[in-house]
Structure 1
Amino acid sequence: MNLYYLPLPEAKKTSNLWEVLAIRRSVRSFSREPLTLDELSLILWASQGISDPRRGFRVVPSAGATFPLNIYVVVGEEAIVGGDLPAGIYEYLVTNHALKLVKSGDFREALSSACLNQTFIAEAPVSLVIAAVYERTTGYYGRRGIQYVHFEVGHAGQNIYLAATALGLGTVAVGAFKDDQVKTTLNLTPEEVPLYVFPIGRPKRSLQNYFNDVLKYYLKTRGD
């Protein structure tokens, strides 16, 4: 098994949470500049990382701690600097914060094709794909568990957005894709259902901080 241990996540002193919330946007235009392995490490930790080792809790709430989500990483050629991570498809291993190689090669074009030829997916150096194993949650909660899985993927998706934004990166939540084609590209098991694709890269244009404009807007609506 080809295993790549990620750098341990370290808190970065970047923008505060309130500024990040205001800055967050959906980005579909990426430069060719690679990500660092530290950046990828932090985004993956924000998506599903361990937050309480004693009880196994993660950064994202999960109904009954059933943890139905699996995270896959599609890495392009020369997409990562600051570490030896060849192009390929990887599964994020939550327990030891590592990546397990699924298959080697640059599959960004294949993923873009599966996503109805949205070209920015091929242009981004890296994409995260979130897949769900519904049975982990529905086995405990019955059909109600389907909703709980959808809640959880939304939590994870917003964490990816905020982590990327805090690092000066951009991403967009993509839900338009052919399930079977994504499953084939990533070698997913029959039980795994792809729910989200997040291309991640450096925005061609920096995201703007409109937090002060928001405050002025609220004051104006109040007649102040």
Structure 2
Amino acid sequence: MLRRVAGAILVVVGITVLVLVSLFTQLYPEPAPKQNLESETIIALPPPRLDSDFSIEEALLLRRSVREYTGEPLTLDEISQLLWAAQGITDPRGFRTAPSAGGLYPLEVYLVAGDVENLEAGVYRYRPQGHELVKIQSGDLREALCNAALGQTWVKEAAVDLVIVGIYERTTVKYGDRGIRYVHMEAGHAAQNVCLQATALGLGTVTVGAFYDDQVQKILMAPENEKPLYVMPVGRK
């Protein structure tokens, strides 16, 4: 009798453990595989400014889609500010500049750098934790990105391009198919932040949605589950 009871208890415990493991896996999926980075080169970004003399009302009033640039380089301070506006962490609890359904943060931001003072041309991933860049590969890939974007010349003429990608499963694991919509909404939030920040910095940008996803992924060396949503050229106007 005792053996049967003990056996039944073990079965119940085993099932419970399996259920808990399954739930944990769904709620906290494994992170996407890392790119084959060039010796994990990390570039610390200058701290973002948290105030300025340029009001949010002015930024809203003056924001325009800008497709022509002077060709002058950007500074690392400006890059820092733009990336912080897109996905910077603003709270010890991990909250960011753009709202996210369930606080799941499915977006990643890449920098395709061409003309930036004190920054080698190349592709970088923005890491909000630490406010830093992780180098993916060297070389000026703006023309390749322009070709992937159906030859839209402002993509290669801008000093840099920000590329926003979405990892859908971070959100759909909780919200199902509805989460796809939430990821797209969040990309819009982040892109508008960049537009307003660029305006406040006296820079020009435009949101680009026409491109070949697979070609953009190849340029970024992004994992298969990272889907490009926006390309945002940024330059001096």
Category of TM-score, reference length = shorter chain: 0.7 to 0.9
Contact 1:6 1:99 in 2 (8 A): yes
Q: Counterpart of 2:191?
A: 157
Equivalent residue letter for 1:35: L
Equivalent residue letter for 1:34: P
Alignment of 1:25-104 (within 5 A): 25-53=64-92, 55-76=93-114, 79-81=115-117, 84-104=118-138
Equivalent residue letter for 1:56: G
In 2, the alpha carbon distance for the partners of 1:134 and 1:11 equals: 30
Alignment of 1:1-224 (within 5 A): 1-53=40-92, 55-76=93-114, 79-81=115-117, 84-203=118-237
Q: Which has the larger radius of gyration?
A: 2
Structure 1: gaps of 5 or more residues: 204-224
In 2, the alpha carbon distance for the partners of 1:70 and 1:114 equals: 19
In 2, the alpha carbon distance for the partners of 1:192 and 1:18 equals: 34
In 2, the alpha carbon distance for the partners of 1:75 and 1:113 equals: 16
Structure 2: gaps of 5 or more residues: 1-39
Q: Secondary structure at the match of 2:50?
A: coil
User: Over aligned residue pairs, what C-alpha RMSD do you find?
Assistant: 0.8
- How far residue 14 of structure 1 moved from its aligned partner, in angstroms, is 3.3
- How far residue 19 of structure 1 moved from its aligned partner, in angstroms, is 1.1
State the percentage of identical aligned residues: 55
State the TM-score, normalized to the length of structure 1: 0.87
- How far residue 85 of structure 1 moved from its aligned partner, in angstroms, is 1.3
Misfit runs of 4+, over 4 Å? none
- How far residue 20 of structure 1 moved from its aligned partner, in angstroms, is 1.0
- How far residue 92 of structure 1 moved from its aligned partner, in angstroms, is 0.1
Q: How many residue pairs align between the two structures? A: 198
Q: Counterpart of 2:11?
A: none
Contact 1:14 1:166 in 2 (8 A): no
In 1, the alpha carbon distance for the partners of 2:183 and 2:222 equals: 18
